[in-house]
Structure 1
Amino acid sequence: MKENELFHDEHVSFHIGRVDDRTFSSKYRHYFTEAELLEKILKYTEMGIFPKNTRLAFLHSLLYLSERLGISMNQFHQGRNKMHYCWSTTPQDNTIYIDHNLEVYRCTYTVEKKEHSLGTLSENTQVSILEQWHKHGLLNLPECQNFRIGTYCNGGCRLSHMEDHNRNCQDEKDNFDYFLNKIFIPNVLKKLSALSLS
């Protein structure tokens, strides 16, 4: 990519996602969290080796605070409502995925996992089942309304929430705390320091 100068081509855009385990189906515990991956990318950016035509595509709970700091790096979140963790739960977008057997899925992670199928494609395609996805969010989850970071994670990933609600909440809280301590607070202190010097 470097040899072909793709890192500076205005017609090329890279989107960085994150490998994770939404259904907690593996025993692997060493995935980068949102905050850990963002921290790595910020370090590369400071070193001047991060391509300018790259967009992030993995910030969920941390998006709005990152934007306030100006470090969201063109995060791609088209079609996502503010009160929803990701686009798959937002009523703003009714995109579905269809496999070769005409099984319908809502989330990219669920395709070909029959237990997450919304049913078979038909003329009255699963509007009621899509509504179940739309209801996953802060306003419809009482446990989130009193949770310290409820307004940021908005219930987290629906799949993770269905699989293990407590683990989903703990993972979101740990990710958020890491972000506050390692990224948000240091950046705020740096900005305050710059203001006091000027």
Structure 2
Amino acid sequence: MKIETRVEGREQSVFASIRRYARPRQARERCGICDAGLAAEHAHLIETAVGRLTCACEPCAILFGNQDAGRYRRVPRDAWFLPEFQLSDVAWEGFSIPINLAFFVHSTPAGRVVAYYPSPGGVVQSLVSLDEWAALVAENPVLGRFEPDVECLLVNRVGETCDCYRVGIDACYKLVGLVRMNWRGMTGGTAVWNEINRFFNGLKERSSHA
């Protein structure tokens, strides 16, 4: 059974992260730690207690990103395409996610893996069956090497596609922001699906193969 959760406080922080990707970019973003100016491509930190993303300059990202037990964790920049990942239709259906896009992350505050999927209103959280997840890990040991809170299994099963990626959580928030910003009407419209395809084409191009 799928359990959707909307938790006050943490959800608001997650939406704050998504809004950064759904609104027009400012002329120049600034580091959320020291207020230094940032380049278009820059690091991100996640405040693990609330799931809030913070833009960071490289010195701050290095300083705070090395504190595993601290307030912030650095989000990895690398992306990996997982062509050998095993995720059958039966296994996917066991997660009871109503659309064919989702990302999974081990949440330290929750003490378990949770799933998120994009919607016209933003992100929706769904608790994952522990048995279903254990079965997936048994088939794909790489999942045991993901960093909690900052690395996600991103699954794209739209159309005939069945692609899985190991990515930083900021990439997943970017996808959610694109869906929220471009969705029109009941089915989303052409623009949102073009943006989704563009996102995954770019992700595959920059990904290493694992």
- Of structures 1 and 2, the one scoring higher in RCO (CA 8 A, sep 6+) is 2
State the TM-score, normalized to the length of structure 1: 0.28
Please state which structure has a larger fraction of its residues in strand: 2
State the TM-score, normalized to the length of structure 2: 0.27
Please state which structure has a larger fraction of its residues in helix: 1
